[in-house]
Chains A and B, each alone.
Chain A
Amino acid sequence: MTGPKNLESRTKHVKQTWGKHCHHILYMSSVKTDFPTVELNVSEGRENLYWKTIRALQYIHQHHQDKANWFLKADDDTFVVIENLQYILSNLDPDKPLYLGRRFKPFISQGYMSGGAGYVLSKEALRRFVKGFQTGRCTHFSTIEDMALGKCMETMKVEPVDTRDLKGRQTFHAFPLDHYIIRQLQRPRPWYLIYDYYVPNEGPNCCSDFIVSFHYIHAVQQYVLEYFTYHLRPYGYSYRFKPDKMVEANNKTH
């Protein structure tokens, strides 16, 4: 999701980094450009964000629903590792109504997924979202996009998925890495972790090795994360976290 004034400062860098790893990527805006951006019949601004999202999902459902099984909504300041998202999705059925992201607790009883961290709808979930608006069961009752969408998901009986890894570490993140990874003494949840549905860890156990997303990632940081994820590595290093071996071991003991 983007807008005309962010194309140069943010969206361009998304296009040059993780955008290349998507099977298809669409840049949603209020104005059509050669970037290329899709024109949705909405104005810019935070108050219009939910309308923009609704229109975007309707547009995709109308024109692109057969192009994919899973649909990721992200912001122009989100960083995503598509391979790690695929890893999670490979164990799930896109014909089930499923909804993935950084799960938040408040307002909606089954919780909702943070907008900035990016969320994913299965093919069935997208279908149900669009149907919800067609039948009036879902409405634009709030401008708070992620929470309102979460409500629609709950109404349409779309299930939220626990996207934590085999060690209980988070994959989607609503803030940059340094908000989570720095070691802290035991303390009550800081404001940015207050909404978390699952009890968050601070320090090295905050985050999975197979990160899916970070939020508030601008320009330079997009490339920095790209460098860390796909380029810089310790030669010959035998990584500690080997989920395939864990799964194998689990299967053997059962």
Chain B
Amino acid sequence: MFGLLVIAHVCGQRKTQNAWKCVTAGFFYVILRQMRDISEISLACEALCQTESSLMLFRSVSRASAAAAIMLSDGGSFMKGMIVGGLFCLVLSLLGSFSPVTESGTDGNDHHHHHVKAASKDELQQLSDSRLQELNNQLKVYCVVMVQPKSLVYWATALDTWTKHCDKAEFYTSEVSKALEAIDLNEKDDWARLRKALKHAYENAGDIRWFFVAQPNTFAIIENLKYLVLTKDPEQPFYLGKAVKSGELEYVELNSGIVLSYEALKRLVNVFQDENKCPERGRQLWKLSDDKQLAVCLKFTGVFAENGEDIHGKGLFNSKTVDSLISESMKQNPNNVVKGCCSDLAVTFSGLSPNQMQVMMFGVYRLRPYGHDFHDLLTFFPPKGSDND
């Protein structure tokens, strides 16, 4: 019985999915240490600590239980306690599964790619001049910037820097600020606020077909975003950015920017009305971050997260600063630091201070060596009335 109680206690510690799995593994380890076979112990531990999803957990729990069952010759009640505990844990983990069952009501068009790459020069050269011109003119981005008065300097800096390059930039705030204008959503909860902002953007899109959601400590290069989606049809659902996996759920991180096509946003706004699939106040038992909630809701509509990459497969959306990424590259690629770091056509960097954003504005839009010409196939003009680009 002791085994059951301990496991139940441990499973109740819901700090993070992985933490409790590892604690469970730790528990099994303690129990299994009583046995003599080292290889079985390490097998069970390894299996539990590396579980990525509830399905794998089931497999590893049964493996561990089976290993224990085989090994132990005495202490029957001890054994029973552990097996029951293992099953109990398993049941809890299935209940606690964050993602909806993968094969839910998606329509037949199940595009399970995981990455979206920018068009290559060849691809672009195959388009006629008039078609390129058409695409260039139609491609507009609506920037949804989620701000709060408590980070006013970031807000002001975003306003003065990269957001000037959006075709339309709207600032959505949690509460009114006397200093700066924004759409006041009057909402403290992150997820509820994001929903309201997206709904507002959808209703005020006009002829804009691409939406970019960001926070003010992210720096985005909208021209490179346009280049990424240039040949993608916004009437198809696209949900792009830095795609990461948490258990079963693949989602786009908010802090490196989220790109939504018109179709994706349309489906999202529709599913907002479904309190079962996409509740406004979030799932009460476990507080998911707003970017994960977004992924869950989109998944119900058949829209999946995809990683935005350049033609070499390098991620374009970065959740760190340039300095940070260069530092890492110095350790990993000391002989090829810059090329080993980041894409030439990166779309976002994040975690920047307001001063760093002003520096980036210069570094991106002005600093260059005289005489280098890139012969790009599109032209984007500088925004009117701006002096720092």
Q: Which residues of A contact B (CB under 8 A)?
A: 16-17, 81-84, 86-87, 177-178, 181-183, 203-205, 207, 209-211, 219-221, 223-241
Task: Establish whether residues B382 and A240, one from each chain, have CB atoms under 8 Å apart when the complex forms.
Answer: yes
Contacts of A231 in B (CB 8 A): 338-339, 342, 344
CA distance A2 to B364 in the complex (A): 30
CB pairs A–B below 8 angstroms (9 shown): A177-B363, A181-B358, A183-B358, A227-B322, A228-B364, A232-B363, A235-B227, A238-B379, A238-B382
Task: Establish whether residues A235 and B378, one from each chain, have CB atoms under 8 Å apart when the complex forms.
Answer: yes
Number of A-B pairs, beta carbon distance below 8 Å: 132
CA distance A87 to B360 in the complex (A): 24
* Interface presence of B376 (CB below 8 A): yes
- 9 nearest CB pairs, A to B: A228-B363, A83-B369, A234-B223, A236-B378, A204-B388, A87-B370, A236-B376, A235-B227, A209-B366
CA distance A240 to B326 in the complex (A): 28
Task: Establish whether residues A181 and B362, one from each chain, have CB atoms under 8 Å apart when the complex forms.
Answer: yes
Q: Which residues, 163 to 203 on B, are CB-close (under 8 Å) to A? A: 165
Contacts of B226 in A (CB 8 A): 235
**Most chain A C-beta atoms within 10 Å of own C-beta, residue among B326, B327, B378:** B326
Contacts of A183 in B (CB 8 A): 160, 358, 388
Over the window 345-389 of chain B, the binary record of Cβ atoms lying under 8 Å from chain A Cβ atoms (1 yes, 0 no) is 110000000011011101111111111101011111110000111
Contacts of A182 in B (CB 8 A): 355, 358-359
Task: Establish whether residues A220 and B330, one from each chain, have CB atoms under 8 Å apart when the complex forms.
Answer: yes
Task: Establish whether residues A237 and B223, one from each chain, have CB atoms under 8 Å apart when the complex forms.
Answer: yes
Closest to A228 in B: B363
* Interface presence of B271 (CB below 8 A): no
* Interface presence of B337 (CB below 8 A): yes
Task: Establish whether residues B223 and A229, one from each chain, have CB atoms under 8 Å apart when the complex forms.
Answer: no
Q: Which residues of B contact A (CB under 8 A)?
A: 160, 165, 221-224, 226-227, 322-323, 326-327, 329-330, 335, 337-339, 341-342, 344-346, 355-356, 358-360, 362-372, 374, 376-382, 387-389
Closest to B157 in A: A183
Closest to B329 in A: A223
Task: Establish whether residues A224 and B345, one from each chain, have CB atoms under 8 Å apart when the complex forms.
Answer: no
Contacts of A178 in B (CB 8 A): 355-356, 358-359
Closest to A86 in B: B370
Distance from A41 Cβ to chain B, minimum over Cβ atoms (Å): 33
Task: Establish whether residues B364 and A16, one from each chain, have CB atoms under 8 Å apart when the complex forms.
Answer: no
Closest to B222 in A: A234
Task: Establish whether residues B223 and A236, one from each chain, have CB atoms under 8 Å apart when the complex forms.
Answer: yes
Task: Establish whether residues A227 and B326, one from each chain, have CB atoms under 8 Å apart when the complex forms.
Answer: yes
CA distance A238 to B374 in the complex (A): 11
Residue of A82, A87, A228, A236 near B367 (CB, 8 A) is A228
CA distance A219 to B323 in the complex (A): 11
Contacts of A86 in B (CB 8 A): 370
Residue of A203, A207, A224 near B323 (CB, 8 A) is A224
Closest to A210 in B: B370
Task: Establish whether residues A87 and B322, one from each chain, have CB atoms under 8 Å apart when the complex forms.
Answer: no
Task: Establish whether residues B341 and A227, one from each chain, have CB atoms under 8 Å apart when the complex forms.
Answer: yes
Contacts of A228 in B (CB 8 A): 322, 360, 363-364, 367
CA distance A209 to B363 in the complex (A): 9
CA distance A239 to B329 in the complex (A): 29
Task: Establish whether residues A83 and B362, one from each chain, have CB atoms under 8 Å apart when the complex forms.
Answer: no
CA distance A232 to B221 in the complex (A): 10
CA distance A244 to B266 in the complex (A): 47
Task: Establish whether residues B379 and A234, one from each chain, have CB atoms under 8 Å apart when the complex forms.
Answer: no
Task: Establish whether residues A209 and B329, one from each chain, have CB atoms under 8 Å apart when the complex forms.
Answer: no
Task: Establish whether residues B380 and A238, one from each chain, have CB atoms under 8 Å apart when the complex forms.
Answer: yes
Task: Establish whether residues B382 and A237, one from each chain, have CB atoms under 8 Å apart when the complex forms.
Answer: yes
CA distance A234 to B162 in the complex (A): 11
CA distance A17 to B382 in the complex (A): 30
CA distance A221 to B323 in the complex (A): 7
Given contacts A224-B322, A235-B345, are A229 and B330 in contact (CB under 8 A)? no
Distance from A28 Cβ to chain B, minimum over Cβ atoms (Å): 24
Task: Establish whether residues A220 and B224, one from each chain, have CB atoms under 8 Å apart when the complex forms.
Answer: no
CA distance A221 to B369 in the complex (A): 17
Contacts of B224 in A (CB 8 A): 234-235
Task: Establish whether residues A220 and B359, one from each chain, have CB atoms under 8 Å apart when the complex forms.
Answer: no
Contacts of A16 in B (CB 8 A): 335, 337
Contacts of A223 in B (CB 8 A): 326, 329-330, 337-338, 341
Task: Establish whether residues B368 and A210, one from each chain, have CB atoms under 8 Å apart when the complex forms.
Answer: yes
